[in-house]
Amino acid sequence: MQSLFFILDVSPLNAYVSVGSTLNLTCTIEEDSSFDSLVFMFNGEEESIQNSGKNSIVLRKVIRGTKDEGVYDCLKNGQKVGSTTVEVECK
């Protein structure tokens, strides 16, 4: 039987950050039976997760420039369950 899950929250939904500041993204899901890990993906690459729990992950990333701007997807079992858009403001 395939496990069912749905996104409860990816926050913030739209993040506005300045160069040099720390981006904090959280992906939280509710699931019925799967214990597989959650990941954040950006530009096709998995982001390092600083903190995680059974049903949530937290991404903390220092913003280096506009190259960090774009859509960050939250995936579970290779399927997108949520996303958020990050916009970078240059000082």
Average pLDDT, the chain: 83
Checking if the pLDDT of 4 tops 60, the result is: no
Q: How confident is the model at residue 76 (pLDDT cuts 50, 70, 90)?
A: confident
For residue 74, which amino acid is it? C
Mean pLDDT across 53-74:
91
SS3 assignment, position 68 = helix
* pLDDT given at position 6: 59
| d(C-alpha 79, C-alpha 29), whole Å | 13
Cα of first residue to Cα of last residue in the chain, in angstroms, is: 51
- Ranked by mean pLDDT, the top range of 4-8, 25-29, 61-65 is 61-65
The structure tokens listed for 31 are 């699931």
Enter the DSSP assignment of 3: -
Q: List CB contacts of 2: < 8 A, sequence separation 6 or more.
A: none
pTM for the structure as a whole: 0.83
